Amino acid sequence: MRHMVMLAAVLLVLRAGSAAAQTRDVRAELAARGAPPDFVERVGATVDATRAQGLPPEPLIDKALEGWAKRNRVPPERVLAVLEQLRGRLAEGRAAAVRAGMADPPGAVVAASAEALGRGITADEVRELVATASDADQAAAGLTVAASLCAQGLDREAAVRAVEDTYRGHSGSEGLFELPSAVADLRGRGTPMADVARRIMQGGGLPAPAAGQGSGQGRPGTIPPGHGNKGSGYVRGQ
């Protein structure tokens, strides 16, 4: 129940952010932070064009504010170039969501798709994560979480599969936001990344490969040979 409440809160934040983006004035926000008029206007024009394309402007606004905050080492031209790249990813993300069957994908899905693409998840995998989600809210959450897992160092395919498994699992959507915490927790306890990937992927049901080795079907790997039925093993009586 607590998780359902939290998921609802997260989705509410996503929706509220998207709605706020329609009314957020990037020019006013940048001007309030002391940005020069020329920079303000060029960013504003890019955001306007993004909005006119039907793409969510919120990621661009956040990125512009980040770029301005880092102005002591990031020139304005670089910020504008990054915004154009992000705009391209938003268009690519929307195209992937449309291919997944969403005629008019919500801004939260498009923004999350762009975020996932930016973390190395392929357009096909984005389409798959959207297509396998139960609804747009779950798709947005799943894409965000997959991007987060990749950013934490988890293998791309493992991240996608973990999200899909959570879609299917009994834990439902609220389990999604447990995944990044679980990875962080495992890493915090020193669990090797290979083990983290395996646990996150829930083992994959991999069978023991061959009789005579593996758990339970013979000596454990570090127990030396004893006495062969027809041969002479090394272990001596003590």
Partner 1 sequence: MIRGVGVATLLCASVLEAQEASLFLGGSRARYADSLDGTAAFAAVRLTSGRGLRAGELDAAFSAFTSGGWALQVAGQTTILWRTQRRHGPYLGFTGGAALNAYQGGTPSGSIAAGPLVALAAGPTYLSLGTVGGAVRRVDSTWSPLASLSARWQWQPARALSADAALTLTGSDTNRLADMSLGLRFGGQVPVRISAVAGTRIGDLADGPWGSLEVVWQATSVVSIEASAGRFPEDLAGFAHGLYAQAGVRVATRGATGLAPPALTVTPLDSNRVRVALRYRKTAHALAISGDWNGWTAVPLRREGGRWIVELPLARGVYQYALVADGEWTLPDGVRGIADGFGGQVAQLIVP
By CB under 8 A, what part of segment 32-61 binds partner 1? Answer: 33
Is 221 a residue that touches partner 1 (CB under 8 A)? yes
Closer residue to partner 1, CB minimum distance, 98 or 182:
182
| 20 near partner 1, judged by CB under 8 A | no
Select the span of 36-44, 90-98, 102-110, 156-164 touching partner 1 (CB under 8 A): 156-164
Asked whether position 130 contacts partner 1 by CB under 8 A, the answer is no
| Residue window 178-197: x/- pattern of binding to partner 1, with contact defined by CB under 8 A | x-xxx-xx-xxxxxxxxx-x
Return the amino acid letter for 62: D
Q: What angle do CA 100, 46, 137 make, to 5 degrees?
A: 30
**Interface with partner 1, residue 95, by CB under 8 A:** no
Phi, psi (5° rounding) for residue 153? 105, 0
Contact in structure between 59 and 115 (CB atoms under 8 Å): yes
**Both tokens of residue 42?**
């060029």
Q: Which of 42-50, 91-99, 102-110, 173-181 is the region at the interface with partner 1 (rule: CB under 8 A)?
A: 173-181
Contact with partner 1 (CB under 8 A) among 31, 49, 74, 123: 74
- On whether the CB atoms of residues 58 and 16 are closer than 8 A, the answer is no
148 touches partner 1 by CB under 8 A: yes
Distance CA 56, CA 223 (A): 61
94 counts as binding partner 1 under rule CB under 8 A: no
CB of 209 to partner 1, least distance (A): 3
Phi, psi of 88 (to 5 degrees): -65, -40
Number of chain positions touching partner 1 (CB under 8 A): 101
SS (H, E, C) 10-38: HHHHHHHHHHHHHHCCHHHHHHHCCCCHH
